[in-house]
């Protein structure tokens, strides 16, 4: 039904959708986890926070798993190169994520305070570390990653883990951490009450400012970084491998797509609109509006970065020709086509039962509810 080129574009969008879905859905429970030691003042507070996401964190985490699976299926070059190259960054995320399922499930199964405190810190690490590392990874994409492909398409990475933690990448790490923490703060403001809700609102107000400042700062900084440009490439509607193109580096090239199509500036603008909605919602007690605003910011930040990089996915600083793009790092026509139909059928089904699950579990979590259901809850 679609030609190969259209499918390549669709899959760029679909991976974007999955990442945005991850930021909005898993983002809010990671945000709650990251705020756990900050605004959870006592055990009951922290249980309110944990139980606000208890029925949903597991389903939400599947956005992350599915995004990983989709990258494997649609962009196997990217999956192979990025995951093996940034080995320790990936393992850091993985080890941090280990704390989440067990943290949620085991924390309140014993009453020993040391046990609970240990898992609280585990949940904090399991939420904050991945949130930070995702931004750091995106920051490194803008600067190029040191790898090359040999002529059998085997990838070799020549950088170190520590080189990933450069100033620009740490700034983009602040963007992603504040973004997901904001998701958590607005969600919590919506689902809690009293003193805890007040602290969640304060955190939300602070995080909006941090997010927009870091996002703006990163935007200005990107203009000083050399972007990547495809100088020549065979027919992008055909089967390609990454070594068939030529690539150059140019100052300001990461803004090229916005200059070509100025309407795209609306995408980064949405982050500021989202920020305003958060502030207005938190001030006026319209907590759902604040959550929507924060989700809008998630969408905007991820799309803004994606559009700037497009069609690059993983630029190579060591050997620019090896850079992976949406044209030459994809799966075959057959796979992209089959997977498109699978996604088209199952994504609405997933959204439907997820919404139903939130509907079933709607309403505020109170301290009284925790005490009354001590044994049944996390």
Partner 1 sequence: MIDSTVVDLSRLQFAATALYHFIFVPLTLGLSWLLVVMEAAYVMSGKEIYRDMTKFWGKLYGINFALGVTTGITMEFQFGTNWAYYSHYVGDIFGAPLAIEGLMAFFLESTMVGLFFFGWNRLSKAGHLAVTALMALGTNLSAVLILIANGWMQDPVGSAFNPVTMRMELTDFAALVFNPVAQSKFVHTVAAGYVTGSLFVLGISSWYLLKGKHVEFAKRSFRIAAAFGLAGTLSVIVLGDESGYAVSESQKSKLAAIEAMWETEPAPAGFNLIASINEETQSNNWAIKIPYVLGLIATRSTSETLPGIREIRAENKERVKQGIEAVIALEALRKNPQDAELLASFNKVEKHLGYGLLVKKYSEDVRLATPEIIERAAHDSVPKVAPLFWTFRLMVVLGFALFALFALAFWASIKNTFQQKPWLLRWALYFIPAPWVAIHSGWIVAEYGRQPWTVFGVLPTHLSASSLSAASLYGSIAGFVGFYTLLLIAEMYLMFKYARLGPTALQSNNA
Q: Does 346 bind partner 1 (CB under 8 A)?
A: yes
Which of residues 265 and 341 has its CB atom nearest to partner 1 in the complex?
341
b/e code 166-188 from CB counts within 10 Å (16+ = b): eebbebbbbbbbbbbbbbbbbbb
Q: Does 88 bind partner 1 (CB under 8 A)?
A: yes
Stretch of residues binding partner 1 (CB under 8 A), selected from 49-57, 177-185, 298-306, 311-319 = 49-57
Which of residues 119 and 138 has its CB atom nearest to partner 1 in the complex?
119
Which of residues 45 and 328 has its CB atom nearest to partner 1 in the complex?
328
CB under 8 Å to 190, separation ≥6 — which residues?
287, 288, 290, 291
Question: Which 118-147 positions form the footprint of partner 1 (CB under 8 A)?
Answer: none
Q: Does 339 bind partner 1 (CB under 8 A)?
A: yes
How many CB atoms within 10 Å of residue 35? 26
Q: Does 9 bind partner 1 (CB under 8 A)?
A: no
Omega cis (within 30) before 198 = no
Listed residue (189, 210, 214, 190) closest to 39, CA to CA: 189
Tokens linked to 365: 């979590």
CB under 8 Å to 175, separation ≥6 — which residues?
135, 211, 214, 215, 218, 301
CB under 8 Å to 335, separation ≥6 — which residues?
73, 74
Q: Which residues pair with 249 in a beta bridge?
A: 228
Q: Does 69 bind partner 1 (CB under 8 A)?
A: yes
Given 1, 113, 114, 152, the residue binding partner 1 (CB under 8 A): 152
Which of residues 28 and 100 has its CB atom nearest to partner 1 in the complex?
100
Q: Does 335 bind partner 1 (CB under 8 A)?
A: yes
Given 3, 6, 101, 195, the residue binding partner 1 (CB under 8 A): 101
Q: Does 332 bind partner 1 (CB under 8 A)?
A: yes
Q: Does 160 bind partner 1 (CB under 8 A)?
A: no
Given 1, 114, 220, 376, the residue binding partner 1 (CB under 8 A): 376
Given 56, 190, 199, 201, the residue binding partner 1 (CB under 8 A): 56
Alpha-carbon distance 302 to 26, whole Å?
14
DSSP string, 245-294: SEEEEEETGGGHHHHHSGGGGHHHHHHHHHHHHHHHHHHHT-HHHHHHHH
Stretch of residues binding partner 1 (CB under 8 A), selected from 37-45, 87-95, 252-260, 262-270 = 87-95
Alpha-carbon distance 51 to 45, whole Å?
10
Q: Does 65 bind partner 1 (CB under 8 A)?
A: yes
Q: Does 77 bind partner 1 (CB under 8 A)?
A: yes
Where do contacts with partner 1 occur on this chain (CB under 8 A)?
Answer: 54-59, 61-62, 65-66, 68-70, 72-74, 76-77, 79-84, 87-88, 90-91, 94-95, 97-98, 100-102, 104-106, 109-111, 151-157, 239-241, 331-332, 334-335, 338-339, 342-343, 346-347, 350, 353-354, 357, 360-361, 375-377
């Amino acid at each position: 039904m679609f030609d190969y080129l259209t499918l390549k574009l669709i899959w760029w969008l679909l991976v974007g959708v999955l990442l945005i879905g991850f930021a909005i859905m898993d983002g809010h429970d990671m945000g709650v986890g990251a705020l756990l030691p900050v605004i959870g003042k006592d055990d009951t507070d922290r249980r309110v926070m944990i139980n606000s996401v208890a029925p949903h964190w597991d389903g939400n985490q599947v956005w992350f798993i599915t995004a990983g699976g989709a990258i494997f299926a649609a962009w196997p070059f990217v999956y192979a190169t990025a995951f093996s190259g940034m080995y320790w960054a990936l393992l850091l995320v993985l080890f941090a994520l280990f704390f989440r399922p067990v943290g949620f499930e085991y924390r309140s199964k014993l009453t020993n305070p040391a046990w609970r405190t240990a898992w609280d810190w585990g949940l904090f690490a399991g939420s904050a570390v991945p949130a930070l590392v995702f931004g750091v990874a995106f920051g490194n994409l803008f600067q190029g990653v040191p790898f090359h492909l040999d002529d059998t398409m085997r990838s070799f990475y020549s950088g170190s883990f520590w080189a990933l933690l450069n100033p620009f990448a740490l700034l983009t790490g602040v963007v992603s951490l504040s973004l997901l923490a904001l998701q958590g703060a607005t969600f919590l403001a919506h689902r809690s009450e009293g003193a805890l809700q007040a602290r969640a609102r304060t955190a939300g107000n602070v995080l909006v400012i941090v997010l927009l400042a870091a996002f703006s700062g990163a935007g200005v900084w990107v203009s000083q970084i050399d972007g990547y440009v495809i100088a020549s490439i065979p027919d992008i509607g055909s089967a390609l491998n990454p070594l068939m193109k030529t690539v150059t580096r140019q100052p300001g090239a990461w803004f090229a797509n916005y200059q070509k199509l100025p309407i795209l500036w609306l995408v980064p603008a949405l982050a500021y609109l989202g920020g305003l909605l958060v502030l207005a919602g938190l001030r006026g007690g319209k907590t759902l509006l604040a959550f929507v605003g924060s989700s809008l910011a998630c969408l905007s930040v991820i799309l803004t970065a994606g559009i700037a990089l497009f069609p690059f996915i993983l630029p190579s600083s060591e050997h620019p020709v090896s850079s992976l793009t949406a044209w030459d790092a994809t799966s075959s026509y057959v796979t992209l086509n089959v997977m498109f139909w699978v996604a088209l059928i199952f994504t609405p089904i997933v959204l439907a039962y997820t919404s139903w699950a939130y509907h079933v579990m709607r309403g505020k979590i109170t301290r009284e509810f925790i005490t009354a259901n001590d044994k049944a809850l996390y």
